[in-house]
Amino acid sequence: MRAPTLFLASAVLALSGLALAQSPGPTPAGGWDVSTLAGKWTYRSFINDPTKCCDDPDPKVDGANLLNLLFAEATFTFQLPSPTTLTGAIDWDGGGLDLQGTVTGGDTGTPAVRIVGTGRPNTSTAYWEYDYDGRLAYRWPNGVNQVPALVGSVFRAKPHGNNPAGLVASFIAVKQP
C-alpha cells in the first residue's frame, strides 16, 4: 500500500512545483538593467519617525506634519564608468556632495548601490560625509508607465555644524526623463 501513497505524494509535489513555476516572480535583474542607474534622479529623504502623521481631519495640519518628516530634497546625478562603479553628485539649493560608489547584483538580481558622498572643499559642505545604500525597486511585469525608483537609507557618517554623526533616514529617488 505504500506505492499509491508515494505516487500520490509525488504527484502533489509535481503539481505544486508546476503552480510555483507559473506564479509571477521577479525577472532577472528585477526587470531593470544596471544602465538604468545612469542619469538624473529626484531624491527625497525622510526622518524615520514611526508616529502616524495623517490622522488629523484638517489637511493643513496633516500636511505640516508630513512635511516635518522630509529630511532633504535634491538631485542625484549618476555616471557608470563600469558596470560595478558609480560616480556623480547630489545637489540641492546651496550645496551638494560628490559621490563615489559601487554597484552590485546587476548580473544576478536587482542592482544595488553603496555610495559615499563627501563635501566639496571650500564650500558649506566641506568635511561632510553621508553614506547611501539603496536598490532599484521591483519592476512590475504588468506595471503601467512605471518609473524606475531607487529606495534605501542614508547615514550621516561625520558630524557637521550642530548635527551629530549617526542619523539614519530613508530615501526614495525617482528617475527623471
pLDDT band (50, 70, 90) for residue 6: very low
Nearest residue to 90 via CA among 120, 50, 63: 120
- Please give the model's pTM, rounded to 2 decimal places: 0.79
- H/E stretch holding 13 reads helix 2-22
pLDDT at 17: 41
Class of domain 31-175: mainly beta
Q: Give the mean model confidence (pLDDT) for residues 142-169.
A: 97
Strand-pairing partners, residue 113, are 103, 134
pLDDT in tens, 31-59: 788 999 999 999 999 999 988 877 776 76
Task: Return contacts of 83-92, CB within 8 angstroms, 24+ apart.
Answer: 83/34, 83/107, 86/37, 86/113, 86/115, 90/43, 90/117
pLDDT at 64: 66
pLDDT band (50, 70, 90) for residue 63: low
